[in-house]
Amino acid sequence: MTLRGKHIIVGVTGSIAAYKSALLVRELVKAGAEVRVIMTPSACEFITPLTLATLSQADVVLDMFPQDRAKGTWHIHLGMWADLMIVAPASANTIAKLAHGMADNALTSLALAVRCPLMVAPAMDTDMYVHVATQENIAILRRRGASIIEPESGELASGLVGPGRLPDMPVLMNAITTHFESRAGDLAGVPVLVTAGPTHEAIDPVRYIGNHSSGKMGFAIAEAAARRGAAVTLVSGPVALATPPGVDRIDVGSAEQMHAAVMQRFEEQRICVLSAAVADFAPARPSDQKIKKSEANTDGMRIDLRRTPDILRSLGERKGGMVLVGFALETENEHANAERKLREKNADMIVLNNPRVEGAAFGGDTNVATLIFADGRVEELPLMAKSALADIILDRALALRR
């Protein structure tokens, strides 16, 4: 029962290999997974929903627009439920839609809504598979962090011989179990502290200085660390995100509060990942009362600012054996500035991102990062899902710890 308790979505598309999805569902259920099947309309031409519902012991999702209108947001709930979505077999058509973010049926809509990793097992005729359009679409998905299960070469349903055949069950099951096993428990019991989100620095009781950080990167790191067994403390600025399962969350408002919350808990930590976008400056004398328009003269008004406490520096000064990971958001001289930050603040690794690079904007679900290490190594990573980047950051932090 290697997959006991895992929630897995199996997406089935209109490929001649769709019959193999029945075997996959059966194997997953036998391995202890809870499985939900979602089919494209074309897939139903190849295999009946009844077969897959019976094997998965659950209703199969077919309609984007269910009869029961109250269940209209099913794709969001199913997206949050899943630990893994695997599309097997994945047709050339569905791969193209996934690569370009189309959401014109239940399966493609769900693929956009899921927060979990995506696995794609292409299966098609050789000519479709080697076509430059398909290859480019697969490359896009790979860059974005999806795992591609390469098709096998052999005799195809059309009688042609070449790559395009959906691998047999042992290969598919091995890819799925390896996905869960490779990182499962590798942070078991390790205390990890993550900061996330922006801070709000009060100007008066109703106004503040803030920034565009959504907190998604830090929450993804906290979620990944908890999934891998860590004892996670998440110190979060004001964000509109749900607490990941198993994470101990502390909400704060200002940089000062975040500094205090982190300093109170840092001693028991083994890894600290400071991904919050902490304000560097705060109003020096916030007003107790709402500032009235009439208080400003006609040229406007001045707000004096003071420096806020530097959390990364404070931890760097006291870190002992802990692995300290900082984030740098730079819009010019990125590498030089990030390296200086790493040295000056005694961090072990800096995750550098530039919000102006496509795919790395605030609030999105993807990021483009460069990892800079204290020993001079630099690792440039491609555009990928924040969830995938979260695991890589933790992999590197763990390697530094060892």
Task: Tell me which of 60, 99, 124, 222 binds ligand FMN, using CB under 6 A.
Answer: 124
Choose between 31 and 90: whose C-beta lies nearer to ligand FMN. 90
Q: Considering CB under 6 A, how many residues would be counted as binding ligand FMN?
A: 15
Binding mask of the shown chain, residues 140 to 179, with x at each position contacting ligand FMN by CB under 6 A: ----------------------------------------
Binding of ligand FMN by 94 (CB under 6 A): yes
Choose between 142 and 249: whose C-beta lies nearer to ligand FMN. 142
Choose between 93 and 269: whose C-beta lies nearer to ligand FMN. 93
Choose between 98 and 221: whose C-beta lies nearer to ligand FMN. 98
163-173 b/e with 16+ CB inside 10 Å = b? Answer: bbbbbeeeebb
The DSSP secondary-structure symbol of 65 reads S
Binding of ligand FMN by 254 (CB under 6 A): no
Binding mask of the shown chain, residues 3 to 42, with x at each position contacting ligand FMN by CB under 6 A: ----------xxxxx----------------------x-x
Choose between 124 and 371: whose C-beta lies nearer to ligand FMN. 124
What is the CA angle 151-152-153, rounded to 5? 125
Choose between 15 and 254: whose C-beta lies nearer to ligand FMN. 15
Structure tokens at 126: 């050789």
Whether 211 is catalytic is yes
Task: Tell me which of 8, 9, 43, 146 binds ligand FMN, using CB under 6 A.
Answer: 43
Structure-token match 């110190």, residue found: 235
Q: CB of 128: closest distance to ligand FMN in angstroms?
A: 6
Distances, alpha carbon 85 to alpha carbons 124, 264, 348, in Å: 20, 39, 34
Question: Parallel, antiparallel, or unpaired: how do β-strands 384-385 and 366-367 relate?
Answer: antiparallel
Applying CB under 6 A, the span of 87-95, 209-217, 278-286, 341-349 interacting with ligand FMN comes to 87-95
Structure-token match 């590197």, residue found: 396
Structure tokens at 165: 């055949």
Catalytic residue among 211, 337, 346, 354: 211
Binding of ligand FMN by 92 (CB under 6 A): yes
Structure-token match 């900082």, residue found: 326
The total of other beta-carbon atoms located within 10 Å of residue 245's CB is 8
136-146 b/e with 16+ CB inside 10 Å = b? Answer: ebbebbebbbb
Q: Can you list the pairs that 152-156 forms with residues at least 24 positions away whose Cβ atoms lie under 8 Å? A: 156/125, 156/126
Q: Which residues in the 294-323 window bind ligand FMN by CB under 6 A?
A: none
CA separation for the pair 219, 224 (Å, rounded): 8
Q: CB of 350: closest distance to ligand FMN in angstroms?
A: 42
Helix, strand, coil distribution of the chain in percent, nearest 5: 40, 25, 40
Binding of ligand FMN by 367 (CB under 6 A): no
Binding of ligand FMN by 44 (CB under 6 A): no
CA separation for the pair 347, 325 (Å, rounded): 6
Instruction: Just list the catalytic residues.
Output: 211
Residues that bind ligand FMN (CB under 6 A): 13-17, 40, 42-43, 91-94, 123-124, 128
